[in-house]
Chain A
Amino acid sequence: MNEEAPKSGFRAWLDRRTGLDSLLHHALDEPIPGGAKIAYVFGSGLLFLFLSQIITGVFLAMYYVPAADHAHTTVSYITKEVTGGSFLRSIHAYGSSAIIIVLLLHLIQTFFYGSYKGRRELVWLAGCVLLTLMLGMAFTGYLLPWDQKAYFATTVGTNILSEIPWIGNPLKRLLRGGTEMGTLTLSRFFVLHVFLIPACIFAFIATHVYAFRKAGAAGPLSEDPVTPKLKAEGFYPKQLVMDMGFAMLIIVALGVCAYLWPTELGPKADPSDTQFLPRPEWYYIPVFQYLKYWHGSTSVIGILIIPAIVGLLLVGLPFYDRSLERRPWKRPVSVGLFTATLIALGALGIASHREDMRNPGVAAQLEKQQAETAEFMTAKFEPELSGSFVAQNATSLNPDVTKGKALFEGQSCNACHGDNGIGTAAAPKLTGVGEKYDSSKLESLLRKPTEKMTAGGMPAVGLKNDEMKALVAYLQSLK
């Protein structure tokens, strides 16, 4: 493509070894029939947003722990204590919304421009898979903070699965890691969100971009989708500048939102709460509302058959819509259906909001939940109390154990065996010793240590019988 590659110096050497220059030229000189257009920025905008999600996600993982008893604390720590933590988390959360918005714009642009036509089935198919994967990312990511809305929204979200005949329940159990929501659900969602789905996204982005470059950019409405006739312009510089401008716009928008309205974290998930009204993230609201209309025996139509038909119509579009006509006003059926679906989704969203506001009980509960979230956000970060001391306090109800503990410390047993018998470099731990030896064996070992014990520095313990009994009781309580 370019015969004028520099012939000497580091860059030439690097190019000879890697072919970087021709790769760069291949990327930058991509021909765009009819020239650069603002309408074409959405694809690269999505790539940019995905990159931003990866970077912020990796950094968030530096503090996050995916277990039911720590997840909420660690997210709270990120939000309330870590420098820039709230900002970074907000960029990540708003980033997910931005991806959905830009995905929709990308889909709408592709659809109305008829850019899926003319040997572009694979580009379209990979795009549909990416849309599904991104919705999967949004669904799995929502649970990770393990606050009230995360927990209950995901409970409802996974319950929908059980409406599917035959495989519904096993599928739900597989996703949850059991019948109920719990720490295993969180682990599974974490693995899906951080490893499996992103890996698939990488693969399908590669497919999408490769198939796109193979077929070539579709160009404007007037362009022939199979054999382009319009004068082409390189991707560089005009389209690149537009794409970079769009990326900048995204960064600024995310930054402003994250700064002015940081993403909130609600109180920790309380599975025993029976009042909580879960509401999904805005982009799932239309689906949430739609599902309300289906009950009982007909629900399989609404939950399975209709979505399957809509999905098939969307995925199969380039297979049954074979005409090369691109102008939307000449394709009234497909354009009409597509527009109607979009309007229906929007209307469902509005209907959901109006229903919530009209029902005073629901409105009051939602307001109360918002107030609880606001209250939690203003509270200081509360570190999680951990350590053997917690467990020890729970078992010290037996007076003998309490007395034995005092003896253990009074006799400086803890100097070598550690506080609460957790062991040190000087002597082994004593936790679980009660399962190994019964009380009489323990007593005889204390009164007359074995040679090995003596060699390690263990002195004989000369206590009165009642004190010895207490010490043994304490040792047996060490778990």
Chain B
Amino acid sequence: MPHVEYIPEVGRNKNGRRSFLAGLLAAGGATVGALLTIPLVRFTLHPILARTTEKSWSDVGSVDEFQNLDAPVKKLVTIEQRDGWRKIALQKPVYVSKDAQGQVIVLSAVCTHLGCTVPWVEKEKKFICPCHLGNFSADGKLLGGPPPRDMDRLETKVEGGVLKTQYQFFRQLVRDKEELA
């Protein structure tokens, strides 16, 4: 560095004023800095704070198809899951059946025991889980085996002659049906 005669304008004799200004600058800088981090924090927290995927309705099939059911019918519904900027399409099996009153119902094929897919066994007129032989009646009532509850019913609605269902996952191994996000 070239030699310069350095005479600080606000020198040591004005220490009080100098440190007051330093404090002011530091406080001002910190405030502005903190303000600037707000958009960064909001940006980072977006996936945590944003609403989780809203439930969507999937088509099961035409209502006419299910008018004269004498046994549960297996249908594949396509569900879409949001994963950040992508959407994953999954096909999930459901059973269309009738309850005791003859109303059309849609059952999740996921066993309430450990989550295996339960098939309808026509020969025995029962749903029998291949994993641990939990079995259910045609309307999903628990008949025997290890599962803690009936098969899970899914919400349904009819729109323009099409049966729709809201596919959902439920907690396994618990007595009461409990939605999973």
Q: Chain A interface (Cβ within 8 Å of chain B)? A: 4, 29, 31, 33, 35, 55, 59, 62-63, 70, 73-74, 76-77, 81-85, 87-88, 213-216, 226-228, 231-234, 237-238, 240-241, 244, 248, 251, 381, 383-387, 389-390, 409-412, 414-416, 419, 426, 459
The DSSP consensus for interface residues of chain B is mixed
List 8 additional contacts besides A73-B86, A74-B85, A384-B87; criterion CB under 8 Å. Answer: A35-B9, A81-B46, A83-B49, A228-B4, A233-B8, A234-B10, A410-B74, A414-B93
Give me 16 A-to-B residue pairs in the complex whose CB atoms sit less than 8 angstroms apart, sorted by A's number. A33-B4, A62-B43, A81-B46, A216-B2, A216-B4, A234-B6, A237-B18, A237-B21, A251-B36, A384-B87, A386-B87, A409-B76, A409-B117, A414-B93, A416-B116, A459-B130
A245 CB, min distance to chain B CBs, angstroms: 10
B43 touches A82 (CB 8 A): yes
A66 CB, min distance to chain B CBs, angstroms: 14
Contact A59-B46, Cβ < 8 Å, known A244-B25, A385-B86, A412-B119: no
A357 CB, min distance to chain B CBs, angstroms: 37
| B 1-17 contacts with A by CB, 8 A | 1-10, 12
Q: When chains A and B are docked, how far (Å) is the Cα of A272 from the Cα of B68?
A: 53
Q: When chains A and B are docked, how far (Å) is the Cα of A231 from the Cα of B90?
A: 76
8 Å CB contact of A82 from B28, B46, B74: B46
Q: Quick check: is B161 within 8 A (CB to CB) of the other chain? A: no
Q: Chain B interface (Cβ within 8 Å of chain A)? A: 1-10, 12, 18, 21-22, 25, 28-29, 32, 36, 39-40, 42-46, 49-50, 74, 76, 78, 82, 84-93, 116-119, 130-131
8 Å CB contact of A383 from B6, B46, B49, B85: B85
Q: Which residues of B contact A426 (CB under 8 A)?
A: 116
Q: When chains A and B are docked, how far (Å) is the Cα of A383 from the Cα of B92?
A: 20
Q: When chains A and B are docked, how far (Å) is the Cα of A74 from the Cα of B47?
A: 14
B95 CB, min distance to chain A CBs, angstroms: 11
Q: Which residues of B contact A76 (CB under 8 A)?
A: 85
Q: When chains A and B are docked, how far (Å) is the Cα of A4 from the Cα of B22?
A: 17
Contact A87-B86, Cβ < 8 Å, known A228-B2, A237-B21: no
Q: Which residues of A contact B6 (CB under 8 A)?
A: 29, 31, 232, 234
Q: Which residues of A contact B2 (CB under 8 A)?
A: 215-216, 226-228
B8 touches A234 (CB 8 A): yes
Q: Which residues of A contact B36 (CB under 8 A)?
A: 251
Contact A389-B32, Cβ < 8 Å, known A83-B50, A412-B117: no
Q: When chains A and B are docked, how far (Å) is the Cα of A416 from the Cα of B119?
A: 13
Q: Which residues of A contact B82 (CB under 8 A)?
A: 383
Q: When chains A and B are docked, how far (Å) is the Cα of A29 from the Cα of B1?
A: 13
Q: Which residues of B contact A63 (CB under 8 A)?
A: 84-85
Q: When chains A and B are docked, how far (Å) is the Cα of A381 from the Cα of B8?
A: 58
Contact A231-B5, Cβ < 8 Å, known A384-B87, A410-B119: yes
Q: Which residues of A contact B4 (CB under 8 A)?
A: 31, 33, 216, 228, 232
Q: When chains A and B are docked, how far (Å) is the Cα of A276 from the Cα of B123?
A: 65
Contact A4-B43, Cβ < 8 Å, known A409-B93, A412-B117: no
8 Å CB contact of B40 from A88, A213, A414: A88
A383 touches B43 (CB 8 A): no
Task: Closest B residue to A1 by CB, please name it.
Answer: B6
Q: When chains A and B are docked, how far (Å) is the Cα of A310 from the Cα of B128?
A: 83
A74 CB, min distance to chain B CBs, angstroms: 5
Q: Which residues of A contact B116 (CB under 8 A)?
A: 412, 415-416, 426
A332 CB, min distance to chain B CBs, angstroms: 28
8 Å CB contact of B5 from A232, A384, A416: A232
A414 touches B117 (CB 8 A): yes
Contact A231-B131, Cβ < 8 Å, known A83-B50, A415-B117: no
A241 touches B44 (CB 8 A): no
Task: Closest B residue to A2 by CB, please name it.
Answer: B12
Q: Which residues of A contact B49 (CB under 8 A)?
A: 83
B79 CB, min distance to chain A CBs, angstroms: 10
Q: When chains A and B are docked, how far (Å) is the Cα of A416 from the Cα of B111?
A: 12
Q: When chains A and B are docked, how far (Å) is the Cα of A59 from the Cα of B29?
A: 21
B88 touches A386 (CB 8 A): yes
B5 touches A84 (CB 8 A): no
B130 touches A216 (CB 8 A): no
A216 touches B88 (CB 8 A): no
A387 touches B90 (CB 8 A): yes
8 Å CB contact of B90 from A31, A415, A416, A419: A419
Q: Which residues of B contact A81 (CB under 8 A)?
A: 46, 50, 85
B96 CB, min distance to chain A CBs, angstroms: 15
Task: Closest B residue to A390 by CB, please name it.
Answer: B89
* Interface core residue of B4, B8, B10, B74 (most chain A CB under 10 Å): B4
Task: Closest A residue to B118 by CB, please name it.
Answer: A412
B76 CB, min distance to chain A CBs, angstroms: 7
Q: When chains A and B are docked, how far (Å) is the Cα of A83 from the Cα of B51?
A: 12
Q: Which residues of B contact A238 (CB under 8 A)?
A: 9
8 Å CB contact of A59 from B44, B78, B90, B130: B44
B46 CB, min distance to chain A CBs, angstroms: 4
8 Å CB contact of B39 from A33, A73, A88: A88
Q: When chains A and B are docked, how far (Å) is the Cα of A35 from the Cα of B4?
A: 13
Q: When chains A and B are docked, how far (Å) is the Cα of A409 from the Cα of B42?
A: 43
Q: Which residues of A contact B18 (CB under 8 A)?
A: 237
Q: Which residues of A contact B43 (CB under 8 A)?
A: 59, 62, 82-85, 88
